[in-house]
Amino acid sequence: MTDMTLLTGPTLCFDGNPLQQAWEDVVRIDTDGAVLIANGIITQVGQAAALKQAYPEAAVTSYGADHLICPGFVDAHVHYPQTAMIASWGKRLIDWLNDYTFPEEMRLSDPTYAAAISARYLDLTLAHGTTTVASFCTIHPHSADALFKAAQTRNLRIVAGKTCMDRNAPAGLRDTAQTAYDDSKALIDRWHGKGRATYAITPRFSPTSTPEQLAALGALWREYPDCLMQTHLSEQTDEIAWVSDLHPQARDYLDTYEAQGLIGERAVFGHAIHLEPREIDRITETGAALVHCPTSNTFIGSGLFDMAGLAARHIPIGLATDTGGGSSFSMLRTMAAAYEIGQLRGTPLHAAQLIWLATAGSAGSLHLSDKIGSIAQGYEADVTVLNLSSTPAIAQRHAQAKSHWESLFATIMMGDDRAVADVWVAGDLTG
């Protein structure tokens, strides 16, 4: 007999994209919900009483009215090598990279240290309810191996790639066009599509990759079109000016990638704050995804992402902590920052939209929306259960709430890892 687990309690379900439709029409909380899990897959979602009766042999885990059964959080843009230097005093992006990021990434030249940091990072994020990340590694191939192995050990779905840089970086963090191609190809053959792993071809950004390296990675992507391609785009104004100086022939920042074949439906661009109209048009036409990194954008002073304007163009959008430019491992804190940025732009997001971005939206940006990001039949059973009364401050607000949406919003704005009651990965309870 197949082992079955039944989770009962208020359950969050999606029927569409709340950035494209009225959230009330496509996001709902079933207050008497239940999720049946077998062999790591969600096999049924329905009413608790009905599923208990239909499957009396299932092991039941009951969550009360002050909990919410959600999809596991999906963090669509991170740098796991920056775990140890998160929350370093911020300057401008380039200074911050030179003073903090590059020295720390050089430490991962030691395979033992890379293995320790990858394990630490995944344990920290799991404790915050994150069950999938898309991470940049370092230029060292073993840094990607370390993260893939750590995710494999935990049975986590993972997206990652060796970061490629052949200029404007310390000597210990530079590869070449050829080694970037060769190392990435070997990693693709070793990891892509194996278990729960997806490979992302990963040029850091145009300032640290020559046109020759970008061209080599574009050629590699044509060989492996089912891989993702992740990089950075238009994060800060001085970065954009630097790109213009380095690529005087380019029409804009995006064109530095486009000219080398690094744009398409499976491209994922982090930040994308200061976009030109042509760039928005091309992103829309190609189906590329953008990832909003709100805590990073405020921490390093980058600017305010135009969620409403870009969503109106039907561009796929994910949400991310951007560890360690972002100042928290928590997707709850990231949702709160996205709300605050929306307020500053005059377009605040509802709790239903925020939690969709952190789950189904991010999964869609990574082309995983048929596998994760939703509580639905046939999906992998990555589930995060929130405690909506996790601290005295949150509990007293929950007691006054008139709906689950009010309670969820309070947890988004004030919650941290204490709000994560349980995390289920492929149907197994972690911790």
CATH code of 317's domain: 3.20.20.140
Averaged pLDDT score across all residues of the chain: 96
Place of tokens 């210990």: 172
Question: Do 272 and 407 sit in the same domain of this protein?
Answer: no
Question: Do 146 and 46 sit in the same domain of this protein?
Answer: no
Question: Do 219 and 280 sit in the same domain of this protein?
Answer: yes
β-strands 33-38, 420-425 pairing: unpaired
Cα 222 to Cα 170, 188, 264, 324: the distances in Å are 29, 13, 11, 31
One-character DSSP codes across 106-137: HHTTSHHHHHHHHHHHHHHHHHTTEEEEEEE-
Question: Do 121 and 159 sit in the same domain of this protein?
Answer: yes
Q: Does the pLDDT value for residue 227 go beyond 70? A: yes
- The predicted pLDDT at position 92 comes to 67
Distance CA 53, CA 47 (A): 10
The answer to whether the CB of 292 falls within 8 A of the CB of 263 is: no
**What confidence tier does 51 reach under pLDDT thresholds 50, 70, 90?**
very high
Last residue of a domain, one of 315, 348, 365: 365
Cα 34 to Cα 91, 140, 421: the distances in Å are 47, 44, 16
What is the arithmetic mean of pLDDT over 168-179? 95
Question: Do 274 and 288 sit in the same domain of this protein?
Answer: yes
The answer to whether the CB of 207 falls within 8 A of the CB of 226 is: no
Question: Do 39 and 148 sit in the same domain of this protein?
Answer: no
- The predicted pLDDT at position 1 comes to 42
- The predicted pLDDT at position 2 comes to 65
What is the arithmetic mean of pLDDT over 340-348? 97
Q: Does the pLDDT value for residue 206 go beyond 70? A: yes
Question: Do 396 and 352 sit in the same domain of this protein?
Answer: no
Q: What percent of the chain lies above the pLDDT cut of 70?
A: 98
Helix (H) or strand (E) holding 309: helix 307-311
Question: Do 260 and 310 sit in the same domain of this protein?
Answer: yes
Q: Indicate the length of the chain as a whole number.
A: 431
Distance CA 334, CA 75 (A): 10
Question: Do 187 and 207 sit in the same domain of this protein?
Answer: yes
- The predicted pLDDT at position 205 comes to 96
Question: Do 169 and 99 sit in the same domain of this protein?
Answer: yes
Q: Which two tokens stand for residue 396?
A: 């007293």
Q: Does the pLDDT value for residue 93 go beyond 80? A: no
The answer to whether the CB of 291 falls within 8 A of the CB of 318 is: yes
Q: Does the pLDDT value for residue 59 go beyond 70? A: yes
Q: Does the pLDDT value for residue 173 go beyond 50? A: yes
Q: Does the pLDDT value for residue 324 go beyond 90? A: no
Last residue of a domain, one of 324, 343, 365: 365
Work out how many domains the chain is built from and give that number: 2
- Span 261-301, pLDDT tens digits: 999 999 999 999 999 999 999 999 999 999 999 999 998 89
What is the arithmetic mean of pLDDT over 110-116? 97
Cα 302 to Cα 4, 101, 141, 234: the distances in Å are 47, 17, 30, 9
What is the arithmetic mean of pLDDT over 411-429? 98
Domain extent at residue 62: 4-71+374-429
Helix (H) or strand (E) holding 36: strand 33-38
Last residue of a domain, one of 333, 365, 397: 365
The answer to whether the CB of 128 falls within 8 A of the CB of 417 is: yes
CATH for 56: 2.30.40.10
Q: Does the pLDDT value for residue 29 go beyond 80? A: yes
- Span 81-90, pLDDT tens digits: 999 888 777 6
What is the arithmetic mean of pLDDT over 360-382? 98
DSSP 39: T
Q: How many helical (H) and strand (E) elements, i.e. helices and strands, does the chain have?
A: 18, 19
Q: Is 403 left (phi over 0), alpha (psi -120 to 50) or beta?
A: beta
**Position 105, amino acid:** E
Q: Is 47 exposed, middle or buried (0-12, 13-18, 19+ CB in 10 A)?
A: middle
Q: Is 110 exposed, middle or buried (0-12, 13-18, 19+ CB in 10 A)?
A: middle
DSSP 317: E
Angle made by CA atoms 124, 10, 335, in degrees to the nearest 5? 45
Q: Does the pLDDT value for residue 399 go beyond 80? A: yes
Q: Does the pLDDT value for residue 232 go beyond 60? A: yes
Question: Do 280 and 340 sit in the same domain of this protein?
Answer: yes
Question: Do 295 and 388 sit in the same domain of this protein?
Answer: no
Please provide residue 204's backbone torsions phi and psi, each rounded to the nearest 5 degrees. Answer: -60, -60
Q: Does the pLDDT value for residue 249 go beyond 70? A: yes
What is the arithmetic mean of pLDDT over 102-128? 95
One-character DSSP codes across 65-105: TTEEEEEPEEEEEEEGGGGGGTTPPP--HHHHIIIIIHHHH
- The predicted pLDDT at position 326 comes to 82
The answer to whether the CB of 33 falls within 8 A of the CB of 376 is: no
